[in-house]
Chain A
């Protein structure tokens, strides 16, 4: 599925420029969300390691 195909799902009668803009914005949001979720996973993992270390449950 191309980017233009994906844009047709929105059920609007945008111009090609509007579709391209929608896709650009959505891609930006998705990458930001992806980065945020990866960061959150790493942070929770790091917190768990620190907490377990201080509680004497690691090594």
Chain B
């Protein structure tokens, strides 16, 4: 039975299956995951951010949409993001098994088979795009399909293992949801959702590089060329600051271009300056000659947590401003 599983896994292509023959892991694979394990494939924490920004795009769009269709659009964004996460877990199962942060995920731990995760992801992807088309319009469905494809093919399969710019370019995948939410209502693109895309796009590098600073040992062990692994911690700290400095003026553009009101403008300014303060903490962290933290990367952890809060608050401010 163990050979069957490994052969089936290998026949699906992608990276080599994790070569573990431990009976306990195989037993888990044969038993199949629990419902919670299958839900974990969808990366619920990532999904929550995606759903939130997608809902914000939908809420600030001009015009109206039936609540059932709005619910369906948000559900499709969630399913699409989750599907991409599931395919990502299938493809990255070899490196996930090496990294401590991801070793307990359902596929590397053997609770769900690789082919199960792949089938689940592909099935949900198709379902989410078709359902989006049925409920809203073709353009929203097409952008959802592009975002799933971008995450799977461009980020996961092409960039992640090749370049330290992986999350800079790959970050576009996570930036699509506000556009999808907007287009689900209006049926066409406009400047504001493109600016929302830009905010998430530029927010992604400081968010992920803060994480990679305190998870760099994991990435190095797995051979993933994240910026701290390739360019060192010091260069990463400066990159976090550089992108945060870019983020503030970009986040102010909706106000400057009269696409959002003063409440949003003031919120973006305060949140942005706070982000810069956290990023400066990352730069000023007590470190050795190579830039490695002497404080267990406490400032990077704080910046990472704040970056999540930042995204919630700035999109929340946009929605509140819209209804003021």
Contact = CB atoms under 8 A, between A and B. Distances in A.
Interface of A: 10-12, 14, 18, 21-22, 25-26, 28-29, 31-32, 40, 43-44, 46-47, 50, 54
B48 interface: no
Nearest to A23: B31
Contacts of B33: 25, 29
Interface of B: 1, 27, 30-35, 38, 66, 68-69, 72, 75, 127, 131, 134-135
Given A43-B72, A47-B72, A28 B31 contact: no
A29 B68 contact: no
B63 to A, nearest CB: 13
Contacts of B127: 40
A50 B65 CA distance: 11
A22 B69 CA distance: 38
A12 B68 contact: no
B31 A18 contact: yes
A47 B33 CA distance: 32
A25 B29 CA distance: 12
Given A10-B30, A18-B27, A25-B32, A47 B68 contact: yes
Of A18, A26, A50, most buried by chain B (CB within 10 Å of CB) is A50
Instruction: Give 5 nearest A-B pairs by CB, closest first.
Output: A32-B35, A28-B35, A50-B66, A46-B68, A22-B31
A35 to B, nearest CB: 10
Given A12-B1, A47-B134, A28 B34 contact: yes
Given A32-B38, A44-B134, A47-B134, A54 B66 contact: yes
23 contacts: A10-B30, A12-B1, A12-B30, A14-B27, A18-B27, A22-B31, A22-B32, A25-B31, A25-B34, A26-B32, A28-B34, A28-B35, A29-B32, A29-B33, A29-B35, A29-B38, A43-B72, A43-B131, A46-B68, A47-B69, A47-B135, A50-B68, A50-B69
A12 B5 CA distance: 14
Contacts of A12: 1, 30
A54 B137 CA distance: 14
A5 to B, nearest CB: 18
Contacts of B69: 47, 50
A10 B72 CA distance: 38
Contacts of A32: 35, 38
A46 B32 CA distance: 33
Contacts of A54: 66
Contacts of B135: 47
Given A43-B131, A47-B68, 8 more contacts: A12-B1, A14-B27, A18-B31, A22-B32, A25-B31, A26-B32, A29-B33, A40-B127
A11 B27 CA distance: 13
Nearest to B37: A25
